[in-house]
Amino acid sequence: MKKLLTCGAILTTILTGCVSADFFYDSLLEEVDTNKNGSISKAEYIASWKKDTQGQTRAEVEKEFKTFDVNNDGKIERAEFNKVFSGK
């Protein structure tokens, strides 16, 4: 499994033009969306973190999840992910 990047690392990757937000979201879905429903639940996000913690605490990972879960419905969808990076 690929390492789950921190919010800051994702932002840096997208803003430096290395990849688009859509490409990154698709890659994240491929790795984290275990039920293949097109969104990332909090449980899936936490499970991915447990496989590769990268030194983050659970509290940090939960805060990171909340950053992307803009509408607070317990899942990250493409529109929310893109919204975080567009600033709209």
CATH number, domain containing residue 11: 1.10.238.10
Res 11: pLDDT: 55
Count structural domains, the chain.
1
Q: What is the percentage of the chain residues whose pLDDT exceeds 90?
A: 30
In a domain, 76, yes or no: yes
CA–CA distance, 29 with 16 (Å, rounded to integer) = 21
- CA dist 6 and 48 (Å) reads 12
Instruction: Going from the first residue of the chain to its last (88 residues), give the mean pLDDT of each consecutive group of 10, the final group possibly shorter.
Output: 51 60 82 92 87 75 90 95 77
Structural domain harbouring 77: 7-86
CA-based end-to-end distance of the chain: 32
- Residue 21, Cα to own-chain centre: how many angstroms? 11
Task: Report if residue 1 sits inside a domain.
Answer: no
